[in-house]
């Protein structure tokens, strides 16, 4: 199953794999779109998706507002004893995570399959 929602330069494509929810943002996660992104991820977590992968393959850029949304999602999923894994970052996006010190706060995998596997483990 795959669904998409979006607007303002960001599309969110959602799917499931082995009981893991996958969100694939497409575009920029910035001050204009981070609210949409964060709200949808939080909604998924609150509605029972406690094993979640965010696939960054189509993310063009992320700002501090996007990082804030991820931090909030990480805290929320921790409350539910769940697992959040990020995957398929471009070199530039990965560099932004490293500069901001966020690469130490999240589990990051090279492939979606690895992300699903890690997210499905308790």
pLDDT at 13 over 60: yes
Superfamily of domain 2-120: STAS domain (3.30.750.24)
pLDDT digits (tens, 9 = 90+) for 14-61: 999 999 999 999 999 999 999 999 999 999 999 999 999 999 999 999
Between CA 87 and CA 93, with CA 91 as vertex, the angle to 5 degrees is: 65
Domain locations in the chain as residue ranges: 2-120
CA atoms of 93 and 44, how far apart (whole Å) = 24
Q: What distance in Å separates the CA atoms of residue 42 and residue 71, rounded to the nearest whole number?
A: 11
Alpha helices in 28-111 (DSSP H): 34-46, 64-79, 91-99
* pTM for the full predicted model: 0.91
pLDDT score, position 1? 39
- Give the three-state DSSP class for 111: coil
pLDDT in tens, 73-103: 999 999 999 999 999 999 999 999 999 999 9
């Amino acid at each position: 199953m795959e669904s998409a929602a979006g607007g303002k330069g960001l599309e969110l494509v959602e799917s499931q794999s082995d009981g893991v929810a996958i969100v694939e943002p497409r575009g920029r996660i910035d001050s204009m779109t981070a609210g949409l992104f964060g709200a949808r991820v939080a909604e998924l977590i609150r509605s029972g998706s406690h094993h979640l992968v965010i696939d960054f393959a189509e993310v063009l850029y992320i700002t501090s507002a996007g990082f804030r949304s991820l931090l909030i999602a990480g805290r929320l999923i921790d409350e539910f004893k769940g697992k959040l894994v990020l995957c398929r970052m471009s070199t530039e996006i990965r560099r932004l995570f490293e500069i901001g010190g966020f690469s130490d706060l999240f589990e990051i995998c090279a492939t979606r399959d690895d992300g699903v596997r890690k997210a499905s483990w308790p």
